[in-house]
Amino acid sequence: MPCIVEGLREHGEQADDDSAWSLADWGPARRRGAPQTGPQHAADIHFSVGPIVELTPGTGSSGPSGAGMMKAPSHMGVKQWLEPSSPSRVFAALLPAASEFYGDENLTGFVRVAKETTAVPQIPPREVQVTGNAEMSCPPDRATVSISVSSSKESVNDVQNSVSRRVEYIIQTVRQHYVKEADTAVTKYIQKVDDLYIMEVEVLVVFLDFDKMQKVRSVLLEKLDKSVCVGVPHFTHSPECLSALRRRVCVAAVENARLKASEVCCTLGQGLGRPLLVREEESREWSCGDTPLTLQQRAGLIALTVSSRVFVSFELRPKDRPRKKP
């Protein structure tokens, strides 16, 4: 940033035109007479505080008469020239170069003001906003059957042997119908009431094939006595089934929204652009309502229903005109 300094003597003397001298590219080392290896970038300073002094920058060798040294005027001696002049008052003003600020900071009430940038207003894209709904039902994919065996004997060994034979037959029947060992759980419980030992065993079997489940139940009910109780199957949905159902419903709702927006664009003579926003606003799940239970529902085979509602915004663009054949 360039700098201009002007001085006036306190006694009101004003220097003539020949008494002004300039300093450019002059470092502290030159004033002391030291050699200088290159030009020093300094501000241009103008004084009116003394006699005529001429100072010329240079790169020559140091010395009283070498280039780059201060020269005494011809009408005065070196001693007189080196004597300090009377006190002076110096006024300085910093002039900013081309930058992002305007104004003179020496003025009262100076405030930095940034350049005003003219922002080009962005035209919001044309869009069409629609909602899509979908509803799907899915039957259970697994059934759990509880098979309990109980016996009471006067000794512990007798009651354990009696129950173990029935439990082994149940496990063997289940394995013959290709039920995995991981889908079978056995829980045993024994207690003493008065002089009798009572033992209860529960076999919990998870079936993925409902036809095999019906066959196993029929065999156990036919071959075993009343000491074995085969429970009613309990149908459920696995986490994988529920997750897949929720995804399918959401995707179907988005597809319905896209079809709706496409028809709206055709009606308006416009083209359907890229999607700008997709948001699922609602998702609900329920099993059976207030309708009377059917035979399947009474048996526990209850389907789960999932619904989804989404909000989708599409870009609206001009419809492409068909090209004319040459």
Q: What is the pLDDT of residues 163-202, one digit of tens each?
A: 999 999 999 999 999 999 999 999 999 998 888 999 999 9
Residues 17 and 148 placed together within one structural domain of the fold: no
Model's pTM, two decimal places? 0.55
Q: What is the pLDDT of residue 126?
A: 87
Report if residue 263 sits inside a domain: yes
If you average pLDDT over residues 243-251, what whole number do you get? 96
- Of the pLDDT bands very low, low, confident and very high (cuts 50, 70, 90), residue 212 is very high
Task: Give the tens place of pLDDT for each residue, 214-238.
Answer: 999 999 998 887 878 999 899 999 9
Question: Using H for helix, E for strand and C for coil, what is the string for the chain?
Answer: CCEEEEEEECCCCCCCHHHCEEECCCCHHHHCCCCCCCCCCCCCEEECCCCCCEECCCCCCCCCCCCCCEECCCCCCHHHHHCCCCCEEEEEEECCCCCCEECCCCCCCCCCEECCCCCCCCCCCCEEEEEEEEEEEECCCEEEEEEEEEEEECCHHHHHHHHHHHHHHHHHHHHHCCCCHHHEEEEEEEEEECCEEEEEEEEEEEECCHHHHHHHHHHHHHHCCCCEEECCCEEECCHHHHHHHHHHHHHHHHHHHHHHHHHHHHHHCEEEEEEEEEEEEEEEEECCCCCCCCHHHHCCCCCEEEEEEEEEEEEEEECCCCCCCC
Task: For residue 153, give both structure tokens.
Answer: 């004997």
Q: Which of 206, 235, 264 is the last residue of a domain?
A: 235
Residue 289 pLDDT: 54
| pLDDT recorded at residue 1 | 43
> Per-residue pLDDT averaged across 302-326, rounded?
83
Query: Is the pLDDT at 48 greater than 70, yes or no?
Result: no
Q: Is residue 94 over pLDDT 60?
A: no
C-alpha–C-alpha distance, residues 67 and 104, integer Å: 38
pLDDT at residue 226 in the model: 81
Q: Assess whether 17 and 108 both reside in one domain.
A: yes
Q: Answer yes or no: is pLDDT of 58 > 80.
A: no
Residue 45 in this model has a pLDDT that exceeds 50:
no
Q: Are residues 42 and 110 in the same domain?
A: yes
The answer to whether residues 110 and 164 belong to one domain is: no
**222, 187: one domain:** yes
Asked whether residue 71 falls in the same domain as residue 217, the answer is no
Residue 196 and residue 101 share a domain? no
Output the domain CATH number for residue 309.
3.30.110.170
In a domain, 43, yes or no: yes
Mean predicted lDDT score pLDDT of the chain = 74
The confidence score (pLDDT) of residue 198 equals 92
Residue 219: predicted pLDDT: 92
Q: Distance between CA atoms of 242 and 137, rounded to whole angstroms?
A: 10
Domain count for the chain, please give it.
3
pLDDT, tens digit (0-9, with 9 covering 90-100), for 111-160? 555 555 666 677 777 899 999 999 999 989 999 999 999 988 888 999 89
pLDDT recorded at residue 10: 41
**Same domain for 279 and 313:** yes
- Which among 211, 235, 259 is the end of a domain? 235
pLDDT at site 53? 43
Together in a domain, 249 and 231: no
163: in domain:
yes
Rounded to an integer, the average pLDDT of 37-57 is 44
CATH of the domain at 184: 3.30.70.2970
166 shares a domain with 134: no
High-pLDDT (> 70) share of the chain, % = 57
Q: Which domain holds residue 266?
A: 128-138+239-318
The pLDDT of residue 62: 44
- Would you say residue 312 lies in a domain? yes
Residue 100 lies in a domain: yes
Residue 259 pLDDT grade (very low, low, confident, very high; cuts 50, 70, 90): very high
pLDDT at 3 over 90: no
Q: How confident is the model at residue 208 (pLDDT cuts 50, 70, 90)?
A: very high
Query: Do residue 220 and residue 248 come from a single domain?
Result: no
